[in-house]
A and B are shown apart, each in its own frame.
Chain A
Amino acid sequence: MKQRPKILVVDDDVDLVTVMRGALESKSYEVIVAYNGKEGLEKAKKEKPDLVILDILMPVMDGFTFADLFNKEPSLAKIPVIALTSFSESLGQPFPFEVCEYIVKPLKPKELIAKVEERLKRGSSQT
Chain B
Amino acid sequence: MLPKEQSATEYTPEERALMFRVMIWVSLRWLAIVGIVIVTLVATKAFHIGFPTLPVYATCAAIALYNLFLLRQSQRLKAEEPGLVVKKAETFGNIQTFLDLAALTVLLHFTGGIENPFISLYLIHTIGISIVLPKRRAYELTTLAILMATLLAFLEYAEVIPHVNLQGFVLPYRYSELSRVSGVLAALAALVYAGTYVTTAVSGELRRRQREVVKLRDQLLEKRAMELEQTSREIAKLEEERRHFVRFLGVVAHDLQSPLVATLSVLSYILDGYTGQITDGQRDLMQRAVRRIDGLLTLITDLLDIPRIETGQITREMRDISLNEVIKRSVEGLDSLSKQKGLALRVELPQISPKVYGSSRRLQQVVTNLVSNAINYTHEGMVLVRATESDSEVRLEVIDSGIGISPEDLPRLFTDFFRGSNVEIKGTGLGLSISKRIVEAHGGRIWAESPDPETNKGSKFTVTLPKKRIAVHPEKEEQTQVGL
Contact = CB atoms under 8 A, between A and B. Distances in A.
Given A16-B265, A110-B272, 8 more contacts: A15-B262, A16-B262, A22-B269, A23-B269, A91-B361, A92-B359, A106-B268, A108-B268
B274 A16 contact: no
A86 B260 CA distance: 11
Contact of B265 (A26, A88, A92, A105): A105
Interface in A66-111: 86-88, 91-93, 105-110
B261 A106 contact: yes
Nearest to B293: A106
Nearest to B298: A87
24 contacts: A13-B258, A13-B262, A15-B262, A15-B263, A16-B261, A16-B262, A16-B265, A19-B269, A22-B269, A86-B257, A86-B261, A91-B361, A92-B317, A105-B261, A105-B265, A106-B261, A106-B265, A106-B297, A107-B268, A108-B268, A109-B265, A109-B268, A109-B269, A109-B274
Contacts of B263: 15
B266 A15 contact: yes
A88 B305 contact: yes
B196 interface: no
Contacts of A22: 269, 274-275
Interface string B182-206: 0000000000000000000000000
A86 B272 CA distance: 21
A95 to B, nearest CB: 13
B369 to A, nearest CB: 13
A109 to B, nearest CB: 5
A19 B360 CA distance: 31
Interface in B213-266: 253-254, 257-258, 260-266
B301 A88 contact: yes
Contacts of A26: 274
A53 to B, nearest CB: 13
Contacts of B266: 15, 18-19
A31 interface: no
Interface in A1-35: 13, 15-16, 18-19, 22-23, 26
Contacts of B261: 13, 16, 86, 105-107
A15 B265 contact: yes
A61 interface: no
B301 A87 contact: yes
Contacts of B275: 22
Which 6 A-B pairs rank lowest in CB-CB distance, beginning with the nearest? Answer: A106-B264, A92-B317, A15-B262, A107-B265, A91-B361, A19-B269
Interface in A32-63: 57
Contacts of A86: 257, 261
A108 B317 CA distance: 28
Contacts of A15: 262-263, 265-266
A106 B291 CA distance: 12
Contacts of B253: 88
Interface centre among B253, B260, B268, B304 (most CB of A within 10 A): B268
Contacts of A87: 301
A93 B359 CA distance: 10
A61 B304 CA distance: 24
Contacts of B304: 88
A92 B266 CA distance: 28
Nearest to B304: A88
Interface centre among B257, B301, B304 (most CB of A within 10 A): B257
A83 to B, nearest CB: 15
Nearest to B308: A88
B272 A109 contact: yes
Nearest to A13: B262
Interface centre among A88, A92, A106, A110 (most CB of B within 10 A): A106
Contacts of B264: 106-107
A109 B263 CA distance: 13
A15 B264 CA distance: 10
Interface centre among A57, A86, A88 (most CB of B within 10 A): A88
A57 B269 contact: no
Interface in B349-364: 359-362, 364
